[in-house]
Structure formats: structure tokens, C-alpha cells
């Protein structure tokens, strides 16, 4: 098929070369951005007197019609075209004749594609941010419901100190808030317009790049034309933000998987977010959480793929850069799906607070509080630590717990002990005493919840 760029060559290429070269399979999803960008370009061309007002009006109406037709499904995108930019221009020219051919004045596909991706991705950042907010809201609501539910807090996956399930959940809300900030920050740098950089060197026409940038909702322009067409930092940055977001979802998923195992039985996922086994009738598998954890690897792969594609590229545009889209689109689609399934999965899970409490009662997680109790009676912490440890060892040897040891036993270890020790090692008391900011007391978790709600509002 002869190409729109036929001239220097006869434009007749092998089918296999066309298939290899073409990007329309994946860049057609940017048709709206491409057409909106072209409308702003036509407006700028007439504003600067480069084309007539009548021509600009014709072009803009023609572009509007193409957009409406694609939206309505009456203009199928021709997969034989090289890319979405060529497709739109081709249809426009078929419909408008010579006027259609004026649109590509003072621009190149190099700045056009850079424009389209930025516009597309910034709207994707907005969508992903909204989906992330929905997850944060679900997590925060669960935390509120379980702000007084005692569970063991872990370090090294060993029972460490008593915390509440609400406190644990709020840790994820904080992580996801940072993800929102990272995406917002990335969006700021992304929101500069490359249109008008043209092929690489700018243009001899008297254009107004800022007019176009402003029309398209950008905060400014790329200030070096070579950089404008060859910069894909915003893709790498977004992929990196998405990778970190997925890392958070993956850690969360891992805990959900652990917690729903028979060994833990801390939570129960709603049936609607689990699957059964084709052979083992007793199974209720946390597939959604496992898939989120699995897909994290895929998003990291998208990031590594793009960084590697970019690392050896000379300035300015190189066709290698067409590879940016599949990786960033894959990551965008993957992250959106994960967030969409995550929010209702969290929303519908229930905690088995009795089991959490039982686990909290068997791990000597109040041993620190026992030591603190002696410290408050005047003993140096290291000595108190040692006594508390010896008492734990005694309990393990005798298959009992600190709460069940009689006072006489305690007095064998130190005469500072009295009846109040039982209150000091009561798990709820241990939790409620941790009033330091960010700590696990109910009041402190409530403050965290308020903070997150304020950030979301
Ligand atoms: N499909 C191309 C891409 O995605 C558009 C830019 C092509 N520019 C060019 N000079 N061949 O990168």
C-alpha cells in the first residue's frame, strides 16, 4: 500500500514490514487526544494567520465529526494504517480534500505523538488516583470498624507487640496516600506541552506554542525542542510510581493471603472475591489477592522494559520510542484492574476478631509491657528486660502464659511486683497506653483516620 509519506521513496513497503512497523493496534486508544490536539493545532494555525479562519473552521468541524463517528462506532479504525495520527489525517483528507492536507503544517508526528501520550497519561493518572482513593476509603472504613480489635503486631513475622487491626490497616492507607502524592507530582512534570517542537528543531512558521498548550490544559511548554520530542521521562516516572503502588498492593495482598489461611484465620474474604478448587472441595482461595501480587511483577517488567529501551537512544526521536506505549498502557490497564478489584475485596472482608485476639494472647506480646511495668517501679530497663525474658522462658517451659502466673512466682524474680502487674499486661491496656502520635491506641488510630479522611476530601 502506498504511504502518505511516499515521495523520497515510492512508499511501497512489504506487508511484513508494515505489520512490524505499525503501532495502530495499540495507539488507537489515543484517538481522542490525537483529535483534540489537532483541533487546537488548527485553531493556532489560523490564530497566527498561517491558515485562513475558514480552513481552520472546516478542519475543526471535520475533526469533531471524526471524533463523534469513532465514539458512535460508525467509523471503524483502519488497522492497515501505520498509526492513529496517520489514520485521522487520512480520514480528514478523504472527507475534506485539500483542506485536510493543511492540518500537518508546522508540526510533525514526533511532537504529535509526544503530545498525545502526555494528554492520555495525565487523564489516566486522574483515573488511577480516583481508584486509589476508593481503595484508601475502603481501607479506612475497615480500620474504623476494627479500631479496637486486638491482634498481634509482628516483626520478623514473629509476634511482637499487641496492636489493633485498625492500626495495621491504616499503615496501608498511609502508603497509598504517598502513592497519590507521587502520581500528582509526576503529573506536574508531565503536564508540559511538546507540540510545536515539530520534528526536532522547531519550525520556521510563526507559531504560538503557548496558545496551543493553554488550549489543551497544559501548565507550560517543553522548553527545548529536541528534549520535547525525545523525552519519555514522564512515562518512566509514571511507571515507577505505578510500580511502587503495586508493591504496596502486593504486600497487602500477601498479608491478606496469609491472614485467610487456616494457620492464621484472621480474616474471611467474601465469597464473591474468592474461588474454589476444581478438585479439593474444602478450598476457598484468595485468587484476587494472589493475582494482584503476581501482576506486580508484570508492572515492574514494564518499567524495566522502558528504561532499557530508552537508555541508549541518541537525540532526538527514534522509532524505538514507539515501544513506550505498550509498556505504559499495559501498566495502566493492570493497575486499574487491580485497584478496581481491591476496593470491594477490602470492603467485603470480615475480621475474625476472636482468632486475632487468641493469637495475641499466645505470643507473650505483652513482655515489653511487663518490663516497662518494672521500669516504672524504678528498675533500669536492661534489668527489667532480662527479668521479663526469664519469666517468658519459665512460661514456655511450663506451658503457661504471663497472665496465668501467680504473684508468688513473679515475686521470686523481683520484689517490685505487685497485683497491678496483671492490669499492666492486659492486652487492651497495652494497646491503650500506646498514645504516642502514630501509635496503636484507639485514640491515635482515630487521629490517623481523621487525617486520611481530610487528605481525601
Ligand atoms: N507511531 C509513532 C510512535 O508511536 C509515531 C511517531 C512516528 N514518527 C516518525 N517520524 N516515524 O512513536
Nearest to 171 by CA among 242, 241, 237, 255: 255
Could you read off the pLDDT of 325-376 as tens digits, one per residue?
999 999 999 999 999 999 999 999 999 999 999 999 988 999 999 999 999 9
The CB of 41 under 6 Å from ligand 1? The reply is no
Strands 192-193 and 220-221: parallel
Q: Measured from the CA of 199, which atom of ligand 1 is nearest? A: 10
pTM for the predicted model, two decimal places = 0.94
The CB of 324 under 6 Å from ligand 1? The reply is no
Give mean pLDDT, residues 43-61: 98
Catalytic residue chosen out of the listed positions 156, 253, 278, 388: 156
Task: Report all structural domains of the chain as residue ranges with CATH numbers, in order of start.
Answer: 15-105 (1.10.275.10), 115-146+153-197+231-355 (1.20.200.10), 359-442 (1.10.40.30)
> Whole-angstrom Cα distance, residue 84 to residue 87?
5
The CB of 116 under 6 Å from ligand 1? The reply is no
Copy the grid coordinates of residue 353: 476478631
What was the pLDDT predicted at 2? 67
Q: Given CA atoms 361, 367, 369, 374 in this order, what sign does their dihedral have? A: positive
Could you read off the pLDDT of 283-316 as tens digits, one per residue?
789 999 999 999 999 999 999 999 999 999 999 9
Q: pLDDT-derived band of residue 394, with 50, 70 and 90 as boundaries?
A: very high
What was the pLDDT predicted at 401? 93
End-to-end CA distance of the chain: 54
What was the pLDDT predicted at 1? 57
Q: Measured from the CA of 321, which atom of ligand 1 is nearest? A: 12
Please state, in angstroms and as integers, the Cα–Cα distance from residue 292 to each residue in 348, 401, 402, following that order: 17, 39, 40
Q: Measured from the CA of 27, which atom of ligand 1 is nearest? A: 4
Which residues are CB-contacts of 68 (< 8 A; sequence separation ≥ 6)? none
Q: pLDDT-derived band of residue 10, with 50, 70 and 90 as boundaries?
A: confident
What was the pLDDT predicted at 244? 98
Catalytic residue chosen out of the listed positions 52, 270, 277, 390: 277
Q: Given CA atoms 89, 95, 101, 104 in this order, what sign does their dihedral have? A: negative
The CB of 369 under 6 Å from ligand 1? The reply is no
Beta bridge partners of 221: 193
What was the pLDDT predicted at 284? 86
pLDDT beyond 90 at 257: yes
The CB of 322 under 6 Å from ligand 1? The reply is yes
Q: Cα–Cα–Cα angle for 190, 195, 199, nearest 5°?
A: 115
Q: pLDDT-derived band of residue 26, with 50, 70 and 90 as boundaries?
A: very high
Q: Is 277 marked active-site?
A: yes
Q: pLDDT-derived band of residue 71, with 50, 70 and 90 as boundaries?
A: very high
Distance 110 CA to ligand 1 centre (A): 6
Q: Measured from the CA of 22, which atom of ligand 1 is nearest? A: 1
The CB of 113 under 6 Å from ligand 1? The reply is yes
Distance 353 CA to ligand 1 centre (A): 57
Do 429 and 423 contact (CB within 8 A), yes or no? yes
The CB of 232 under 6 Å from ligand 1? The reply is no
Give mean pLDDT, residues 411-422: 95
Could you read off the pLDDT of 143-189 as tens digits, one per residue?
999 999 999 999 999 999 999 999 999 999 999 999 999 999 999 99
pLDDT beyond 60 at 412: yes
Q: What integer best gives the mean pLDDT of the chain? A: 96
| Protein residue closest via CA to atom 11 of ligand 1 | 319
Amino acid at each position: 500500500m502506498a504511504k502518505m509519506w511516499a515521495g523520497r521513496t515510492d512508499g511501497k513497503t512489504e506487508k511484513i514490514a508494515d505489520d512490524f512497523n505499525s503501532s495502530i493496534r495499540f495507539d488507537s486508544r489515543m484517538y481522542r487526544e490525537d483529535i483534540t490536539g489537532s483541533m487546537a493545532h488548527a485553531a493556532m494555525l489560523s490564530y497566527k494567520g498561517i491558515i485562513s479562519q475558514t480552513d481552520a473552521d472546516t478542519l475543526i468541524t471535520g475533526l469533531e465529526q471524526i471524533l463523534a463517528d469513532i465514539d458512535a462506532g460508525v467509523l471503524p479504525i483502519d488497522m492497515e494504517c501505520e498509526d492513529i495520527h496517520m489514520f485521522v489525517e487520512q480520514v480528514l483528507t478523504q472527507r475534506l480534500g485539500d483542506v485536510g492536507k493543511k492540518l500537518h503544517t508546522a508540526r510533525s508526528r514526533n511532537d504529535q505523538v509526544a503530545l498525545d501520550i502526555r494528554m492520555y497519561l495525565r487523564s489516566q493518572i486522574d483515573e488511577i488516583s480516583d481508584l486509589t482513593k476508593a481503595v484508601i476509603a475502603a481501607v479506612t472504613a475497615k480500620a474504623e470498624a476494627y479500631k479496637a480489635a486486638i491482634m498481634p503486631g509482628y516483626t520478623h513475622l514473629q509476634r511482637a507487640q499487641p496492636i489493633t487491626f485498625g492500626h495495621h490497616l491504616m499503615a496501608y492507607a498511609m502508603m497509598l496516600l504517598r502513592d497519590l502524592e507521587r502520581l500528582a507530582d509526576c503529573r506536574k512534570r508531565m503536564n508540559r506541552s511538546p507540540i510545536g517542537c515539530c520534528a526536532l528543531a522547531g519550525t520556521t512558521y510563526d507559531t504560538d506554542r503557548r496558545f496551543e498548550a493553554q488550549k489543551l490544559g497544559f501548565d507550560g511548554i517543553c522548553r527545548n525542542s529536541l528534549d520535547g520530542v525525545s523525552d519519555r521521562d514522564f512515562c518512566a516516572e509514571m511507571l515507577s510510581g505505578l510500580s511502587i503502588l503495586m508493591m504496596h498492593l502486593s504486600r497487602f495482598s500477601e498479608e491478606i493471603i496469609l491472614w485467610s489461611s487456616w494457620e492464621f484465620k484472621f480474616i474471611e474474604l467474601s465469597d464473591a472475591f474468592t474461588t474454589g478448587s476444581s478438585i479439593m472441595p474444602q478450598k476457598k482461595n484468595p485468587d484476587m489477592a494472589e493475582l494482584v501480587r503476581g501482576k506486580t511483577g508484570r508492572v515492574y517488567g514494564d518499567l524495566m522494559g522502558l528504561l532499557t529501551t530508552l537508555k541508549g537512544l541518541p537525540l532526538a526521536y527514534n522509532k524505538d520510542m514507539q515501544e513506550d506505549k505498550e509498556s505504559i498502557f499495559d501498566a495502566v490497564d493492570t493497575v486499574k484492574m487491580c485497584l478496581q478489584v481491591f476496593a470491594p475485596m477490602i470492603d467485603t472482608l470480615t475480621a475474625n476478631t476472636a482468632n486475632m485476639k487468641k493469637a495475641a494472647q499466645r505470643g507473650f506480646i505483652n513482655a515489653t509491657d511487663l518490663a516497662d511495668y518494672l521500669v516504672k517501679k524504678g528498675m533500669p530497663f536492661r534489668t527489667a528486660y532480662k527479668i521479663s525474658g526469664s519469666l517468658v522462658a519459665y512460661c514456655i517451659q511450663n506451658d503457661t502464659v504471663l497472665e496465668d502466673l501467680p504473684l508468688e512466682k513473679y515475686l521470686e524474680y523481683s520484689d517490685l511486683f505487685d497485683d497491678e502487674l496483671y492490669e499492666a499486661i492486659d492486652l487492651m491496656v497495652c494497646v491503650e497506653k500506646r498514645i504516642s502520635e502514630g501509635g496503636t491506641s484507639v485514640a491515635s488510630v482515630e487521629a490517623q483516620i481523621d487525617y486520611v479522611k481530610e487528605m481525601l476530601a
